Amino acid sequence: MNLVNKFWSNLDWDHWLYGLLAGFLGGGAGAVVSGVVVSVRDPARYNFSSSGFYILVLSIFVANGLLNFFSYLHQNPLPAVRVVTTTETVNKTPPITTTVTVQKTEMMEYAAKKE
């Protein structure tokens, strides 16, 4: 059971949830433009003062948002593993200092943030 907990806690949930939300909101933003176009094409039924206009915009927002949401979910079904970047400073003959940055993906124990 401990192996499963380590696996789930080492995934980058923040960026994955951010991507899902950004996909939904970005896709839904096209609904505003779609609503304006429909209002221009049929002002008798869909003017800015009618409730039908806002219902139309809301339904297009949800449909476009869900389309992009599931598209992101299709490309990223699970969050990526957290990437740990370590920096090592190697001092050779003074005054030469060489800095080496190593980026590796590894499973490590999740450390809770201290407040």
Task: Return the pLDDT at 1.
Answer: 47
Separation CA 42–CA 50 (nearest Å)? 12
Q: What is the pLDDT of residue 93?
A: 60
Lookup result for tokens 């869900």: 66
Q: Residue 101: what pLDDT?
A: 65
- pLDDT score recorded for residue 36: 86
Tens of pLDDT, residue by residue, the chain (115 residues) = 455 566 677 788 888 999 999 999 988 888 888 888 888 898 888 888 888 888 988 999 999 999 999 999 999 888 888 776 766 666 666 666 566 666 665 555 555 555 4
Distance CA 91, CA 98 (A): 6
Q: Is 108 exposed, middle or buried (0-12, 13-18, 19+ CB in 10 A)?
A: exposed
Question: Strands (DSSP E) along the chain, which ranges?
Answer: 83-91, 97-105
Q: What CA–CA distance (Å, rounded) separates 78 from 7?
A: 12
Asked, as a colleague might, if the bond just before 94 is cis with ω within 30 of 0, I would say no
